[in-house]
Amino acid sequence: MMKKENIILAFYICIICIGSVLTGRIVFVTIHDTPINQIHALNARPQIPFSAFAQASTTPKEITHGDTSKKDVIFTFDGGGGVQSGDKILEVLAKHHVRGTFFLTGKMVTTNPDLVKRIASAGNEIFSHTYDHPNLTIIPNNKIGLELTKLENILHATAGVSPKPYFRAPYGARNPRVLAVAAAYGYQSVYWTVDARDWMEGQGETPIQVKARILSSVAPGTIYLMHVGDTITGQILDSVFTAIEAKGYKIVSLTQGL
């Protein structure tokens, strides 16, 4: 007998395939989200909003911003490798009474269990960034599911929390098939509105540039992408939060800001 999740997955994929035939359009997009100290071929690809490709109503909905009717902004922190800014991020979140939102890989949880426990115990949100940080668009459906379930299991065992219902695709690489598989496993994709590009530290990006990029793009519902594994985030986060709050905005978690 087919498992419920397999039946749901087959339904999603069939609908997407039918939609592709009817529209005469093959939908595919790969967007980068490269961790610190990892140069990847995806870096050369342009950042194109997924919504520009995913127009069919059958494609599972993706989150790219929060509630645009409120002066709230959302800071999300991806963690897949180093933890250079981990302690400072937690310090700043506590200082400003903000719940942060973290997308963590299973490998990071495994290698940094104490930090992950502190993230969770402080009331911050932890969602899935897969177990091994692969490009999901080039691996088969069963391996996508394995990436999600392995992270789910290790996070629950380590910190007693579940990453559901949200995930962020490594490198920002996703397409309708990936979203359909994730949906069958109970996950909804979360992208971002503004990439702070703190991850480009090794390529010459400076704290001043990253801070300017953030503060020049403040708008209701903005979701910012930052990282745990760089030093820029730890250097500027406190002053960034102070400047945003001075503009009359509130910094909230993902679930608070939707």
To which H or E segment does residue 252 belong? strand 250-252
pLDDT band of residue 240 (cuts 50, 70, 90) is very high
Q: Would you say residue 175 lies in a domain?
A: yes
Q: Is the pLDDT of residue 99 over 50?
A: yes
Phi first, then psi: give them for residue 202, nearest 5 degrees.
Answer: -70, -10
pLDDT higher than threshold 90 for residue 120: yes
Q: What is the pTM of this model?
A: 0.82
Question: Helices 207-215 and 232-246: crossing angle, nearest 10°?
Answer: 30
What is the structure's pLDDT at 6? 54
pLDDT for the residue numbered 45: 34
Q: Is 47 part of any domain?
A: no
In a domain, 44, yes or no: no
Average pLDDT, the chain: 85
User: In this structure, is residue 46 part of a structural domain?
Assistant: no
> Which of 209, 43, 228, 245 shows the shortest CA–CA distance to 124?
228
Tens digit of each residue's pLDDT (9 = 90 or more) over 194-218: 999 999 999 999 999 999 999 999 9
Tell me the per-residue pLDDT of 57-73, one tens digit each, with 9 for 90 and over: 578 999 999 999 999 99
Residue 43 resides in a domain:
no
Share of the chain above pLDDT 70, in %: 78
Question: If pLDDT is split at 50, 70 and 90, which confidence band does 75 have?
Answer: very high
Tell which residue, 36, 167, 170, has the closest CA to residue 102.
167
Q: What is the pLDDT of residue 59?
A: 80
- Domain containing residue 86: CATH number: 3.20.20.370
| Within a domain: 125 | yes
Q: In total, how many domains does the chain have?
A: 1
What pLDDT sits at residue 208? 98
Q: How many degrees, rounded to 5, is the angle at CA 32 between CA 219 and CA 243?
A: 30
- State which residues form the domain around 28: 4-37+63-257
8: confidence class by pLDDT, cuts 50, 70, 90: low
